[in-house]
Amino acid sequence: MMTKAGFHSLRSSLRDIALALGLATAAVAVVGSVEALAMSRIKDLAAVEGVRENQLVGYGLVTGLNGTGDTLNNCPMTRQSLQAMMERLGVNTRGANMRTANMAAVMVTANLQAFATQGTRLDVTVSAMCDAKSLQGATLLATPLLGADGEVYAVAQGSLAISGFAAEGEAAKVTRGVPTVGRIANGALIEREVEFKLNHLSNLRLSLRNPDLTTARRIAAAINDFLGADSAEPTDPSTVAVQVPKAYKGNMIRLLTEVEQLSIQPDQRARVIVDERSGIIVMGKDVRVSQVAVAQGNLTVTITEQPEVSQPEPFSRGQTVVVPRTGVRVDTDEKKKLAIVKDSVSLRELVDGLNALGVGPRDLISILQAIKASGALQADIEVM
């Protein structure tokens, strides 16, 4: 029979075991979450070569504008299109003096999705070509959409949805957004399909969205480990060639759905992206900088004008004059000295070191470019 002391000892041991298991489980969960954040699916890193969109474009007319359309005298293509359309409908307008401002010539664009079938619909974007002020309330007439080969793949028609607007009076004008561009959801009907027999392929080519030799090699290794054979091989930084195993012959969809779910850790070269217009700086995690001393400061000259009015005494013969008062101040930034940015082993330490200089984003852009010119920045700088 267990004593009271033995029972308490057993309960304490069980509690310690449960605590240890809980900590181990939490540690596994943390490690798993970190690994999950570091890994990416092949589906998100690469695309199957040949499975892509095709761009379509067409020229058409929109009607129903409330006097905000093209001026026919200034837009000969609108006049010619109107006359040709009316003749096809059995109305002869040759030689007539047309002054309508309720229609406009437009360009229609769309992206034909991969494997889109005949009879399905796609979205189209409509843009004014001439001097139309707004496409608000417009209706697009049937417009053929052509591919790069000149063939008609879809026909667009429907009412436009405009996100912008324009309003004006005699002395003021307000414009919000772009009123000369509109969109028609499901506005085009596909008439021709792009043939691509995916299941008949004997080999695949995966195109990396961000070309990199290390990433391409890791993708090939992950595919080979999954298939159990040397079927995948990177041919260049942006392409991985895959020979289809016999077990997947004629069933390419099954192979792709299994391969694209494989996860790897992508790699990339160290880069610093700079947008000088907005002052945005984006640095990758592998950016490193050697120890360097930086001084930031400019000579600033400030000139202020505070003119004063001098008036004569009452009933005197003097004149009222304006006396200039000019103040000049020179700031040489004497308080700003050289600052040392130490060797950085992480992106956080690099950012902390640069922030310690007390400069803004735009000055930081110039500092990064100067550090790169000195050879101390081990990264590529790309200016947008």
Alpha carbon distance 362, 277 (integer Å): 9
Q: What is the pLDDT of residue 242?
A: 92
pLDDT in tens, 237-271: 999 999 988 888 878 888 898 999 999 999 888 88
Alpha carbon distance 239, 213 (integer Å): 9
Q: Which of 61-70, 223-232, 344-353 has the lowest mean pLDDT?
A: 344-353
Alpha carbon distance 137, 142 (integer Å): 16
Strand partners, 55: 111
Task: Tell whether pTM > 0.75.
Answer: no
Alpha carbon distance 262, 222 (integer Å): 7
User: Residue 16: what are its φ and ψ, rounded to 5°?
Assistant: -65, -40
Residue 24 has pLDDT above 50, yes or no: no
Alpha carbon distance 379, 357 (integer Å): 20
pLDDT in tens, 189-200: 999 988 888 887
Q: What is the pLDDT of residue 293?
A: 73
Residue 7 has pLDDT above 50, yes or no: no
Q: What is the pLDDT of residue 322?
A: 73
Alpha carbon distance 147, 337 (integer Å): 62
User: Residue 94: what are its φ and ψ, rounded to 5°?
Assistant: -65, 130
CATH code for 198-264? 3.30.70
Name the DSSP letter for residue 244.
Answer: P
Number of Cβ atoms within 10 Å of the Cβ of 253: 11
Using DSSP's 3-state secondary structure scheme, residue 99 falls into coil
Tokens 């043939």 appear where? 195
Contact indicator for 272, 380 with CB cutoff of 8 Å: yes
Residue 357 has pLDDT above 50, yes or no: yes
Q: What is the pLDDT of residue 129?
A: 92
Strand partners, 280: 275
Contact indicator for 156, 140 with CB cutoff of 8 Å: yes
Angle at 185 (CA atoms; ends 182, 191), nearest 5 degrees: 110
Alpha carbon distance 260, 225 (integer Å): 14
End-to-end alpha carbon distance in the chain: 80
Residue 245 corresponds to which amino acid? P
pLDDT in tens, 297-306: 654 555 565 7
Q: Which residue spans of the chain are classified as CATH 3.30.70? A: 198-264
